[in-house]
A and B are shown apart, each in its own frame.
Chain A
Amino acid sequence: MENKHITIFHGPQHPGITGNMSIELDLIGETIQKATTHVGYLHRGFEKLIERRTVIQAFTIVCRICVPEPDPNEANFAMAVEELAGLEVTLRAQYIRVMVLELSRLAAQFLWMAGQSGSIGLYAVGQWAIADRDLILDLFEELTGARVYHMYIYPGGVRRDLPEGFLERVSTLLEYMKKRLKDYDDIFINNASFKSRAIGVGIISKEEAIANGYVGQVLRGCGIKADVRKDAPYLVYDELEFEVPTETAGDVYARALVRRAEMDQSIHILEQVVTKMPEGEVMIKMPTHRKFKLPKDDTWVKVESARGEFAYYMAGDGSEKIRRMQVRGPSLVHAYTLLEDLLVGAELSDVALIMNSLGICPPEIER
């Protein structure tokens, strides 16, 4: 029987989609001929809302730009405001921020592991990963009062100091994680089912990755040592030792290996932060929020999120409100420039697998 040309929608309601977006797929048989990304199911107008808000009012919504990993948004927002207003945060606050960002990265990688394994039907891994991520969220709840949207990294420092015994509890969790991650190697990373599905799928070339501005594991999976924490260090990352893991194959499996190795590096960073945590204040004296004005100036700040470089452009206009804040996460370019190309020639069953490996998060596309 001759194969028929059909068009189907993958998402927005699909377990293999990374958030509320859809991909329109033109297929012949099971092979994709054309892929078109569609977003707009989650447009909440953050960038517009922020234009009408004071700094503290805007602060409460930036974390909502990314559900799996809200903290890089908070860090970027705080760093941009501090740079425009000429504020310098204390050393202790910087260490605490690094701790929060690394815990958040670890939690995001667990969530990725759940999604990536689920995309090929290894559901046990997902259940483990969500349970282990919850242990990190418990710490976040204790520290910030919230599990997902922390609203903790505030311009001028962090919202409150560490509770008593918190660092010990972080250390205990890290010890557990070190042992636990080996189980994930057995059940997921070294699993023959995963290898046979991920090796040689979704290959991205090094040249293309550089030229098109791809970030994160997409670059590192092609052998490019790119990491904002090393390339343009912020906070106290230049005082901490860590490696930037890379792989050379450029496929889904290479990106998975990079992410798994990054989890070890996050643990290594967190151990150093626990040991080196200095004493001192966590918040500098800030102006009353209604009188807190940003000068007419602009800046560009970036951090390394769990999915790659995450940047903010921010402009002030001399008033209490932020004139413009533009979010540049990895997803805009990855979901359009990259994914639409990468899916051509791929099999229908590999769509979720490839998509999960690119770290696409729709809320940061339609800010």
Chain B
Amino acid sequence: METIMFKEIKKHFATDDVEVKRSDLYKVGIKYSRLFELVHMLRDQYDYKILNAITCTDWIEEGHFALTYILTTLDRKHTFMIQTMVNRENTQIKTFSHEFKQAQIMERDLHEMYGINFIGNENLKELSLENWVHTPPLRREFDTLKFVNNNLTFREGRDDNVDTKAETKRLRALKKAAKEAAKKEADKKAKEKAEAQKPKDEELKDGK
């Protein structure tokens, strides 16, 4: 069955990018223009009727997003990853929400995190972020540390507010000073003991 399916995919979609990742997991790379056709073929001819997830990976160096549609057969024994590369700037993708109801929320999630516009999806409102006006956070150019330093302030009196490098330096200096003081104290005591011992030794020497 799998061999026939792979042959069919290779033949119809002119791609050699078909891979068996595990005995239950296959992957195919496809041009975006043929994505819907392939999903329909897998769904109608090979029983891949369940859409499990839509994932996105930002390949900023290569200038594209890798969108992966993950489909499972009705008996849940096999999974197909269909991957397509789309331009990461002003990304416009046709929605799958009219065919798979769950795609609606998955696309809404990706819209918020990557700024991808899913054309035809009726609800792309904010999901977990509130009044977000910055770069969509899962895009690689979004720098978390820079964002925190520029937009958030630390509350007074919290440990978080401490410059850890300076604090470590200060604590080390304190520890060193305490160690030196302890050593000085020990030396002083030893000296005093030796002083106290001296007359006794001299007395013994004199045979008194």
Q: Measuring CB to CB, which residues of chain A are less than 8 angstroms from any residue of chain B?
A: 39-40, 43, 45, 47-49, 51-52, 83, 210-213, 226, 228, 231-232, 298-300, 302, 309, 311, 313, 315, 323-324, 326, 328, 332-333, 336-337, 365-366
In chain B between 101 and 141, which residues have their CB closer than 8 angstroms to a CB of chain A? Answer: 101-102, 104-106, 109, 113, 126-130, 137-138, 140
Is A40 touching B130 in the complex (CB atoms < 8 A)? yes
Task: Supply 6 further A-B pairs (C-beta < 8 A) apart from A52-B144, A298-B57, A333-B105.
Answer: A39-B127, A45-B137, A212-B102, A299-B25, A300-B21, A328-B53
Per a CB cutoff under 8 Å, which of A302, A311, A315, A333 touches B102? A333
Can you list 24 A-B pairs, Cβ within 8 angstroms, ordered by A? A39-B127, A40-B126, A40-B130, A45-B144, A48-B144, A83-B22, A211-B100, A211-B101, A212-B100, A212-B102, A213-B51, A213-B52, A232-B78, A299-B25, A309-B52, A311-B53, A311-B70, A313-B68, A313-B70, A315-B57, A323-B57, A332-B105, A337-B101, A366-B128
Asked, given contacts A299-B21, A326-B55, whether A40 binds B49 with beta carbons under 8 Å apart, the answer is no
The smallest beta-carbon distance between B139 and chain A, in angstroms, is 10
Residues of chain A with a CB closer than 8 A to B106's CB:
332-333
Residues of chain A with a CB closer than 8 A to B79's CB:
232, 300, 302
Complex CA distance for A337 and B129, rounded to whole angstroms? 19
Complex CA distance for A299 and B76, rounded to whole angstroms? 17
The smallest beta-carbon distance between A15 and chain B, in angstroms, is 23
Is A366 touching B102 in the complex (CB atoms < 8 A)? no
Is A47 touching B127 in the complex (CB atoms < 8 A)? no
Complex CA distance for A333 and B130, rounded to whole angstroms? 20
Per a CB cutoff under 8 Å, which of B128, B130, B144 touches A49? B144
Complex CA distance for A109 and B53, rounded to whole angstroms? 26
Residues of chain B with a CB closer than 8 A to A40's CB:
126-130
Complex CA distance for A250 and B126, rounded to whole angstroms? 32
How many A-B contacts if CB must be within 8 Å?
97
Is B130 touching A313 in the complex (CB atoms < 8 A)? no
B8 at the interface (CB under 8 A from A): no
Complex CA distance for A362 and B189, rounded to whole angstroms? 64
Complex CA distance for A45 and B112, rounded to whole angstroms? 13
Residues of chain B with a CB closer than 8 A to A302's CB:
79
The smallest beta-carbon distance between B202 and chain A, in angstroms, is 62
Complex CA distance for A210 and B100, rounded to whole angstroms? 11
Complex CA distance for A41 and B74, rounded to whole angstroms? 35
Is B25 touching A231 in the complex (CB atoms < 8 A)? no
Complex CA distance for A171 and B55, rounded to whole angstroms? 41
Asked, given contacts A40-B127, A231-B77, whether A213 binds B57 with beta carbons under 8 Å apart, the answer is no
Task: With a 10 A CB-CB cut-off, give which of A43, A213, A298, A333 has the most chain B CB atoms.
Answer: A213
The smallest beta-carbon distance between A358 and chain B, in angstroms, is 14
Is B49 touching A210 in the complex (CB atoms < 8 A)? yes
Is A210 touching B128 in the complex (CB atoms < 8 A)? no
Residues of chain B with a CB closer than 8 A to A324's CB:
55-58
The smallest beta-carbon distance between A78 and chain B, in angstroms, is 16
Residues of chain B with a CB closer than 8 A to A333's CB:
102, 105-106
In chain B between 44 and 82, which residues have their CB closer than 8 angstroms to a CB of chain A? Answer: 49-53, 55-58, 66, 68, 70, 74-79, 81
Is A39 touching B128 in the complex (CB atoms < 8 A)? yes
Residues of chain B with a CB closer than 8 A to A228's CB:
76
In chain B between 1 and 45, which residues have their CB closer than 8 angstroms to a CB of chain A? Answer: 21-22, 24-25, 27
Closest B residue by C-beta to A324? B57
The smallest beta-carbon distance between B195 and chain A, in angstroms, is 53
Is B70 touching A300 in the complex (CB atoms < 8 A)? yes
Asked, given contacts A47-B138, A213-B52, A332-B109, whether A365 binds B128 with beta carbons under 8 Å apart, the answer is yes
Complex CA distance for A336 and B104, rounded to whole angstroms? 9
Complex CA distance for A176 and B142, rounded to whole angstroms? 52
Is A300 touching B81 in the complex (CB atoms < 8 A)? yes
Closest B residue by C-beta to A208? B101
Complex CA distance for A52 and B143, rounded to whole angstroms? 10
Residues of chain A with a CB closer than 8 A to B21's CB:
299-300
The smallest beta-carbon distance between A269 and chain B, in angstroms, is 19
Is A328 touching B52 in the complex (CB atoms < 8 A)? yes
The smallest beta-carbon distance between A61 and chain B, in angstroms, is 14
The smallest beta-carbon distance between B208 and chain A, in angstroms, is 66
Asked, given contacts A210-B49, A228-B76, whether A313 binds B144 with beta carbons under 8 Å apart, the answer is no
The smallest beta-carbon distance between B151 and chain A, in angstroms, is 14
Residues of chain A with a CB closer than 8 A to B55's CB:
313, 324, 326, 328
Is B137 touching A213 in the complex (CB atoms < 8 A)? no
- Contact flags B74-96 to A (C-beta < 8 A → 1, else 0): 11111101010000000000000
Complex CA distance for A336 and B75, rounded to whole angstroms? 24
Residues of chain B with a CB closer than 8 A to A49's CB:
144
Per a CB cutoff under 8 Å, which of B53, B58, B129 touches A313? B53
Per a CB cutoff under 8 Å, which of B68, B74, B77, B105 touches A210? B74
Residues of chain B with a CB closer than 8 A to A299's CB:
21-22, 25
Residues of chain A with a CB closer than 8 A to B140's CB:
51
